[in-house]
Amino acid sequence: MAGVGIRISSPITERPKVACMPLARSKHWLSPYDQMGPQNSSIKVFLSQSAYCRIVMHAGSEMDDEVGGALIGLWCMDRDTEEQFIVVQHMLPAHHTRQGSVYLTFTQDTLVGFHEELEKNFAGKRIVGWYHTHPKMGIFLSHYDTFLHNNFFPEPWQVALVVEPHKSLGGFFVRDLDGGLSPTRYSGFYEMNGNLGREMVEWNNLQATEDDEMEGG
């Protein structure tokens, strides 16, 4: 075919990886909002047990100051249903942050650091979102958190996780289908391999579903 134009080198962010949604082995944890009815959300969040443990350890390492970092993993689309989901496999603690008991902020250098580490240690993975702690506060996004999320994590499938280390609470903020983001309504997630008999999630504000999925072959 004639007329093939110059192709601008495109970032890897264009298409999700086609995969099978790992529902059968995962335990579904619901937030109080999830229990009120489904969110108009486009993205399901799957969290590996190792990433969960690392996030909890980092969150508990500073009980007064906020800490945070990047969520690393995959952006996927189920090959049958074409539903989109992300898989959080790793985390990267943030450096170059301005930390204080009231808020944590990422700087441009933080983002540069994430991308450098991603290229070096997690080739082919993406930054699927970020996490930070709210010691002695609740699970919500402040105005500033929303600003950071929209500026540094603008993709529709990028999520924000907030963790409260004292009461052991956690929740994901996921954009809805229109791109809107509620600062109060948070979601639970799917704990990968949590249905295989050793669940690890201990966040007190989340509740596991009763209707266990059938374990596939």
Chain positions contacting Zn ion, by CB under 5 A: 142, 145
Contacts 24+ apart (CB under 8 A), 98-101: 99/62, 99/65, 99/66, 99/67, 100/65, 100/66, 101/64, 101/65, 101/66, 101/135
- The smaller minimum CB distance to Zn ion, of residues 145 and 164, is found at 145
Closest distance between Zn ion and the C-beta of residue 106, in Å? 11
Closest distance between Zn ion and the C-beta of residue 172, in Å? 14
| Whole-angstrom distance, CA of residue 17 vs CA of residue 75 | 6
Residue in the shown chain whose Cβ atom is closest to Zn ion: 145
At 205, list the tokens.
């504000």
Closest distance between Zn ion and the C-beta of residue 142, in Å? 5
Burial of 72 (0-12, 13-18, 19+ CB in 10 A): buried
Closest distance between Zn ion and the C-beta of residue 35, in Å? 24
- The smaller minimum CB distance to Zn ion, of residues 18 and 63, is found at 63
Q: Torsion angle, CA of 206/49/198/46, rounded to 10 degrees?
A: 60
- The smaller minimum CB distance to Zn ion, of residues 146 and 209, is found at 146
| Whole-angstrom distance, CA of residue 59 vs CA of residue 63 | 8
| Whole-angstrom distance, CA of residue 192 vs CA of residue 7 | 38
Closest distance between Zn ion and the C-beta of residue 134, in Å? 5
| Whole-angstrom distance, CA of residue 155 vs CA of residue 175 | 9
- The smaller minimum CB distance to Zn ion, of residues 35 and 154, is found at 154
- The smaller minimum CB distance to Zn ion, of residues 13 and 61, is found at 61
